[in-house]
Structure 1
Amino acid sequence: MNSNWTSVILFGAFVACRFYLQPTYSLISDCDETFNYWEPLNFLLRGFGKQTWEYSPEYSIRSWAFLIPLYSVLNPSMRILEAFHLPMFNLFYIARFFLGLFSLVMEWLFFEEIKSTLSTQTATFWLFFQVFNPGWFHASVELLPSSFAMISLLGSLKFTLRYLSTGAQDAFVKALLFNFVGGILGWPFVMILSVPLVVHYIFSHRILNTLKAGISAASRLAVVTAVVFAVDSMFYGKFTPVAWNIVMYNVIGANEKSGPNIFGVEPWYYYIFSLLLNIPLPVLLGSIVGLSNLRLWPVWGALATWLTVFLLQPHKEERFLYPIYGFVTLASSVGFSSFWRKWSGSKLTRNTVFLILLCSTASQALLRMFALVQNYKAPLDVYSHLPEASGPQTVCVGREWFHFPASMFLPDNYRLGFVPSGFDGLLPGDFKETDSILNSIRDKPVGMNNQNLFDSSKLVVTEQCDYFVDFMLHSDNEKDAFDPTNLPQGWKKLYSALFVDAPESKFFGRALLLPEGLTRLIPQQLQSRWSKIYQVKYLEYCIFERHREEV
């Protein structure tokens, strides 16, 4: 293979994905991203947004320091949008552009490190697997601590490879530093990924050298911790070690009434299905082969540690696997490169086999990414069509509250309101809208709890609603304030987009998007069987507008 030309083409695809395709078309896969990160970011920028219990000073398990880097680039961007009278939802896409930029820079630096410490061929395989990586496609532009940690860990992997190649203390300490940043500023649990690397250093160096490295690493950990804790403490108005609070809530202080398990539990094989959906099968198989490279055992040990720990946790979420995506693609690139070098057959056969494997990887990845865009992007489209209006406006949501993308999609005089829908968990409240951002953050909101207990004060009455967003689907739940198929007089549909009808679609129809022309080629006598495994149906995801009578 011509690695130089391949790298150039792949880098072009990289730029297109990270700078345009992902920021524009990637979905929001988790309401936690919206309400715990986009909403407080919007509050910092525009003075309003939804507030979750995690941001209550009573619990303070979310970091304001985590939002400051994006705030620093979005604040001047917002002034430019205001000057040119452009919609504020552009802030959302500008933020994603910078998230994509962060990912691209870290990935390219890691690519260069693989070239210098492993091989150009391995680096090229890695670049290919990163481009055609459905999990990375949406995770790298998500505003989540696990996403930030996922990208930061590329820096840790970069210096881990350098340390394993040279044995240098400086590389070892820098590997830990990137892990510290990803853990303290992002998600503290990722710090366990450095345990195998530390074990390797201890058993391969003299005690004096180990002590020196330990002191050097500890000093950097202290600096990172002090800076992040200081920023969060300034915001909350009291000493606030957010990373420690997260561990306390999710691990040490977790019980049957609070902790992660109250939000649902999943079987042990949940993560197997998650990996199969988000990483192409050839890549997963290649990663198994890559584990045979024992020189990199600290990297594989970190991967095994993470999977073991999180497989044992009852509460499972797809984003909990984000930090190891880079580890999996590295293992696969090592495996593919090893397989290529050790091939004993003819070159033609080898090239054919690898072409099939790479085409299979790209095909599965593209079909998955197309499905994510086609099936789940409707909320971003719909909320961007809210019209300008005079006076205060309330956009209401009921059973579809968790698909709300962000208050950045609301004009300045619009606010989000929750109406009754039968949901019996704790909905977000509102940050107090005052002249002082810090006073609002430090104020203890009413009706918050860490047990997911319902609080009726989070709801608004239907008379307040000027707009309503929901599926065009009959509601047989008597607790729903609105039935979109039988709205009160004066309401009309303003705009709609297609959203996958999950209950009426088959698994493969939701997971992969096959071109219609390809499905038509299936013989008629097999169509009935095919529809049993692949079928996708859509609902209208609508925004409705109330027309009030002029007084």
Structure 2
Amino acid sequence: MAPNQRQRQLFISKKELKKLNGRRFSKPEETSDTGLIYPGVDTAFKLLLSARFCSAIWSHITDCDETYNYWEPSHYLLYGSGQQTWEYSPQYALRSYMYLLIHMVPAKLYHYLLEPNPVLVFYFVRCLLSVGCALSEVYFYKNVCREFGIHIGRLTLVFLILSSGMYIASAAFLPSSFSMYLSTVAIAAWYGRRYELAIFATAISVLLGWPFAALLGLPIAMEMLIHKKEWSKFIKWVIISGTVILVPMIWVDSMYYGKLVIAPLNIIIYNVFTNHGPNIYGTEPFSYYICNGFLNFNFVFIGALWAPFGLFLVWLIVPARPRDRLCLSYWYSLAPLYLWFLVFFLQPHKEERFLFPVYPMICLAGSIAIDTIQKLYFFIRTKLSSLHIAYHYLQYTVHITFFAILICGFLGISRSLAIYKGYYAPMEVMIDTNKLGLEREISKDININFCIGKEWHRFPSSFFFPSNNWKLQYLRSEFKGQLPQPFLVHENATSIIQPYFNDMNREEPTRYFSLDKCHFILDLDIDIETILEPNYSRLNDNFTIIRSSKFLNSARSHRFFRAFYIPFVSHKFCTYGSYNLLQNIKFKSIPLLLKEKNIKSS
């Protein structure tokens, strides 16, 4: 075979591509026209769903915004009690109750039919989120295979399953995760040339999820309006989508808030058109997303950043057959990811969840980066030696695929295990707290004050309380921002403006509770204390430890081994504290009071 012929085999021919695009992805394992073995849609969905259920069960809540802005008001909708943040005050009305209801209606049905423990409702919702995420991912995988080829598609699938970033984001009850599901569907529909679905999914993502996800729909809109000139179809589906989603959303939110409310508009106004914007909640350097991206996706993220340069090199030096005209150019199809990077990397206020909507595209771009490395490697070797002849570049570079999956997969699983082993303790202790309330038969006639101080941001939600008579209380700590307060016990509580709320994250002293009235305290013991944050676990005259779990002390642990778990090795380089549930000694007789009361009444 002549060199030019070998080089042209870097890409699948147009005829082969058309055959591949017409293939049904249904069998558990199929072989493409180029001899590549890949999972069918059914198999891919089972693998993704298994990984997502692992997330639902074993991932902890990584962002306190998830607890207080979504789980707590959801607990109020189901059980009539929960914490209210300033975003849910009718004075500001930044959050949509419609978003909560689409999750809580199935939860309410589950609660009505089976009357489960609230903890089971919590995990039921998480499992629903996992199913939604897996469905969006398998649709993405199917269309990536058609748009970019089997090799890139199967690499993308592997990285979706094994990355710790998807482990964290997939079961999170957050608008950014919801936008990840719907934006993934929209981009996949775009790759499949189903523009109506792409517009509708984008509209759901933007209006019900996160308004800023509209940025991901911009390349789709540009192709329809500028390249295809389909103005009428675009305008028609924008109007249909807006009407179907926005009208019931405004109706529901206005009913709950007691006034006309357009929540997506309010959150845009607050974040973009106020003097301070979201920056009052802290800013991070440019390197924040680089470090966070590597932790969550390891070399896949580095590859995603390198992919445009790699594609340029392939285009520049490798004389290969151009992509089929039916396919979008690489630059266009990856535009949503790099547009998102450009905007959010430059924002002073950075949070991990802000990148959730493009997590699947990071896996795609990382796969494309590996593919470009294989093409460049094959081209250089065929230039250096005529002995290295292969029909297709993938046949000669399979070792690169193998090592990429091995290394990136190992680091992804290692990171997920490190997160679980280091930080799952609050969930374990709160599950035990739920059992404690049931086992000890604590009276439901009195309020149980459950107190949190410095650990307010790790509290997983009121779904872990045994019953509604358990009340969350805050102790003063070094944190000087604004804490939530309980929803009022009132028929129209969501429409009543409570005092002591502000939109500047100013500390509200009215939130704090007296220590001596606490029945239980959730506390972390890592041998560090201050005047405002005493080590409650060591106050043996006042409190006793009744539940405990190991929690990673990151400040005293090796940077690598606290980030990635290596069996039989990590424990030698990591230090752990104790995550404790404490009971006030003077209230230890609470379980007995109920029994005594029953004896006297009999």
Who is 1:114 aligned against? 144
The answer to whether structure 1 residue 539 and structure 2 residue 573 are counterparts is no
The 10-residue stretch of structure 1 (340-349 or 411-420) with the greater mean CA deviation from structure 2: 340-349
Match of 2:510 among 457, 470, 473: 457
| Residues 449 and 202 (structure 1), Cα distance of their counterparts in 2 relative to 1, 3 Å cut | same
Match of 1:428 among 481, 484, 493: 484
Contact 1:284–1:328 under 8 Å retained in 2? no
Unaligned runs of 5+ in 2: 1-34, 312-322, 382-387, 594-602
Whole-angstrom CA distance in 2 between matches of 1:94 and 1:41: 13
Deviation, 1:245, is: 0.6
The 10-residue stretch of structure 1 (51-60 or 154-163) with the greater mean CA deviation from structure 2: 154-163
The 10-residue stretch of structure 1 (215-224 or 358-367) with the greater mean CA deviation from structure 2: 215-224
Match of 2:82 among 49, 55, 73: 49
| Residues 422 and 280 (structure 1), Cα distance of their counterparts in 2 relative to 1, 3 Å cut | closer
User: Residue by residue, what CA displacement relative to the aligned partner does 1:305-338 show, whole Å, maximum 9, x if unpaired?
Assistant: 2111112211110110111112222223344445
Whole-angstrom CA distance in 2 between matches of 1:301 and 1:203: 15
SS of the equivalent of 1:492 reads strand
Deviation, 1:419, is: 1.1
Match of 1:252 among 237, 248, 273: 273
The answer to whether structure 1 residue 471 and structure 2 residue 489 are counterparts is no
Which amino acid in structure 2 is aligned with residue 308 of structure 1? L
Deviation, 1:488, is: 5.6
Who is 1:240 aligned against? 261
Who is 1:501 aligned against? 553
Whole-angstrom CA distance in 2 between matches of 1:499 and 1:312: 34
Who is 1:144 aligned against? 174
Match of 1:195 among 209, 212, 218: 218
The answer to whether structure 1 residue 487 and structure 2 residue 530 are counterparts is no
Deviation, 1:115, is: 3.1
Who is 1:167 aligned against? none
Who is 1:382 aligned against? 429
Deviation, 1:80, is: 4.5
Which amino acid in structure 2 is aligned with residue 373 of structure 1? Y
Which amino acid in structure 1 is aligned with residue 257 of structure 2? Y
The 10-residue stretch of structure 1 (346-355 or 503-512) with the greater mean CA deviation from structure 2: 346-355
Contact 2:550–2:579 under 8 Å retained in 1? yes
User: Residue by residue, what CA displacement relative to the aligned partner does 1:497-540 show, whole Å, maximum 9, x if unpaired?
Assistant: 11111211232222111112x569xxxxxxxxxx8xxx321110
Contact 1:147–1:322 under 8 Å retained in 2? yes
Unaligned runs of 5+ in 1: 164-170, 521-530
| Superposed counterparts of 1:67-78, under 5 Å | 67-78=100-111
SS of the equivalent of 2:348 reads coil
The 10-residue stretch of structure 1 (535-544 or 501-510) with the greater mean CA deviation from structure 2: 501-510
The 10-residue stretch of structure 1 (409-418 or 541-550) with the greater mean CA deviation from structure 2: 541-550
Contact 1:283–1:361 under 8 Å retained in 2? no
Contact 1:10–1:131 under 8 Å retained in 2? no
| Residues 465 and 262 (structure 1), Cα distance of their counterparts in 2 relative to 1, 3 Å cut | same
Deviation, 1:298, is: 3.0
Whole-angstrom CA distance in 2 between matches of 1:64 and 1:275: 31
Deviation, 1:8, is: 6.7
Number of equivalences:
517
Match of 1:419 among 475, 481, 485: 475
Larger radius of gyration: 2
Deviation, 1:485, is: 4.2
Whole-angstrom CA distance in 2 between matches of 1:11 and 1:216: 29
User: Residue by residue, what CA displacement relative to the aligned partner does 1:332-359 show, whole Å, maximum 9, x if unpaired?
Assistant: 3344445556735556752222211110
- Provide TM-score, normalisation by structure 1: 0.88
Contact 1:498–1:541 under 8 Å retained in 2? yes
Contact 2:178–2:205 under 8 Å retained in 1? yes
RMSD value, Cα: 2.3
Whole-angstrom CA distance in 1 between matches of 2:104 and 2:112: 12
- Provide TM-score, normalisation by structure 2: 0.81
Which amino acid in structure 1 is aligned with residue 339 of structure 2? T
Which amino acid in structure 1 is aligned with residue 134 of structure 2? L
| Residues 296 and 351 (structure 1), Cα distance of their counterparts in 2 relative to 1, 3 Å cut | closer
Who is 1:406 aligned against? 461
Contact 2:422–2:552 under 8 Å retained in 1? yes
Who is 1:524 aligned against? none
The answer to whether structure 1 residue 178 and structure 2 residue 201 are counterparts is yes
Who is 1:295 aligned against? 329
The answer to whether structure 1 residue 443 and structure 2 residue 496 are counterparts is yes
Contact 2:36–2:150 under 8 Å retained in 1? no
User: Residue by residue, what CA displacement relative to the aligned partner does 1:421-440 show, whole Å, maximum 9, x if unpaired?
Assistant: 23221111000123x2xx01
| Residues 335 and 218 (structure 1), Cα distance of their counterparts in 2 relative to 1, 3 Å cut | farther
| Residues 339 and 473 (structure 1), Cα distance of their counterparts in 2 relative to 1, 3 Å cut | closer
User: Residue by residue, what CA displacement relative to the aligned partner does 1:70-129 show, whole Å, maximum 9, x if unpaired?
Assistant: 1111112223453xxx53211111111000000011111222223334433332222111
Whole-angstrom CA distance in 1 between matches of 2:52 and 2:551: 24
Contact 1:197–1:299 under 8 Å retained in 2? no
The 10-residue stretch of structure 1 (209-218 or 122-131) with the greater mean CA deviation from structure 2: 209-218
| Residues 57 and 282 (structure 1), Cα distance of their counterparts in 2 relative to 1, 3 Å cut | closer
SS of the equivalent of 2:583 reads strand
The answer to whether structure 1 residue 280 and structure 2 residue 263 are counterparts is no
Match of 1:213 among 218, 226, 234: 234
Which amino acid in structure 1 is aligned with residue 174 of structure 2? L
Whole-angstrom CA distance in 2 between matches of 1:511 and 1:25: 17
Which amino acid in structure 2 is aligned with residue 53 of structure 1? W
Residue identity over aligned pairs, in percent, reads: 28
Deviation, 1:155, is: 1.1
Contact 2:450–2:472 under 8 Å retained in 1? yes
The 10-residue stretch of structure 1 (99-108 or 212-221) with the greater mean CA deviation from structure 2: 212-221
Who is 2:15 aligned against? none
Whole-angstrom CA distance in 2 between matches of 1:246 and 1:441: 18
Whole-angstrom CA distance in 2 between matches of 1:34 and 1:43: 12
Who is 1:88 aligned against? 118
| Residues 222 and 273 (structure 1), Cα distance of their counterparts in 2 relative to 1, 3 Å cut | same
| Superposed counterparts of 1:306-385, under 5 Å | 306-337=340-371, 343-344=378-379, 350-385=397-432
Whole-angstrom CA distance in 2 between matches of 1:410 and 1:114: 43
